[in-house]
Amino acid sequence: MKGNRFALFFMAALAVLVVSLAVLSPRLWKDKAPTIKADKITIENMPIAAKGMVESEEKLEVSNQVMGLITEIRVNEGDQVEKGQVLAVLDNNKVMTRIRLSEAQLKEAQAHLNELETGSRQEDIEMAKSGAARAEIVWEKAKNEYGRQNRLYQKQATTLVEFERAEEKKDIAAEDLREARASLDKLIKGARAEEVEQARAAVEKAASELNYYQALLQDYTITSPIHGVVAEKYRDAGETVDIGTPILKIVNPQRLRIRAQLEETDVGRVSEGQSVEVTVDAYRNKTYRGEVYQVIPVLKRFTLRVFDPSAVYDINAQNIYASLHDFSGLKDGMQVTVKFLE
């Protein structure tokens, strides 16, 4: 009996304690627990970061302007090159032949023009007079022979063949005499104005053709348009290339920049002059600092690749360009992470 009463008393006391705690605990927590104020997390106050790349402001693919066979490539990957340095040479035998022909045609045209402009030399006139005199003598003989054969033929004392032969010689001699007299007259009077103009036009045409082929010859020698380093070599000597085929890639490693691809959801949150922090996997303990200097106002479609080859997808992104205070250790083509500071 005594044990049962004690058990009932203990159970009643325990029940009172539980009820008291249930009633008083919210007040205790309200009075003693620290107040936690949670800020509202939105897209606007989330930090902005983007994937990017180190790239040269000066890099280009050097290609040929004419179709041909590569006879020489004078550089290899990693070579330093100067602006204007010869990088490759294409076979130019055909254009050299055209240049030599054009030079000869120009020389001939110029000589003819000089002759017309300076007038005839006295010795040329004397030679033309002698030629006209000889032609007149030949014509007189041919004319007399024709007269004799005609009289004989009328008397049937010669054949028709002999008569026609004499007539043909007379006509030929008469034509030669006319040409000789015309040449002499031309030498004495000088060239007509239209002949001089035609000769000048011939000189200009020959000179233009020569200039064209000389300019074309330069396209068979490929030079570097910038100071830089040969980053890639696409072709080798002995290959035939079409117009515009990339042969080499030149990069200027002294003019680097950061190009970040800002996803569409963050567009408008980055502006020129904004500070950036750049990290790269190659230097995990180093942070590069700089500023945004250009924000491209249009979006482009980019293909985003991750470690899983099957997880490739396209995104809309905005190109952001930044300059760093220090590019030491960074190389063209390195992947970086860009953090845009508020």
233-259 pLDDT, tens per residue? Answer: 999 999 999 999 999 999 999 999 999
Give the Cα separation of 314 and 302 in Å (integer). 5
**Tens digits of per-residue pLDDT, 25-83?**
555 444 444 444 445 545 556 678 999 999 999 999 999 999 999 999 999 999 999 99
Q: What is the mean pLDDT of residues 115-126?
A: 67
Cβ count within 10 A of residue 88: 23
Q: What token pair was written down for 33?
A: 């627990």
Lowest mean pLDDT among 273-287, 302-316, 318-332: 302-316
pLDDT of residue 240: 94
Mean of the per-residue pLDDT values of the chain? 84
Give the Cα separation of 272 and 293 in Å (integer). 5
Q: How confident is the model at residue 119 (pLDDT cuts 50, 70, 90)?
A: low
Task: Of 63, 81, 25, 35, give the one whose Cα is nearest residue 227.
Answer: 81
pLDDT of residue 224: 95
pLDDT of residue 30: 47
Q: What token pair was written down for 113?
A: 């023009």
3 state DSSP class of 228? strand
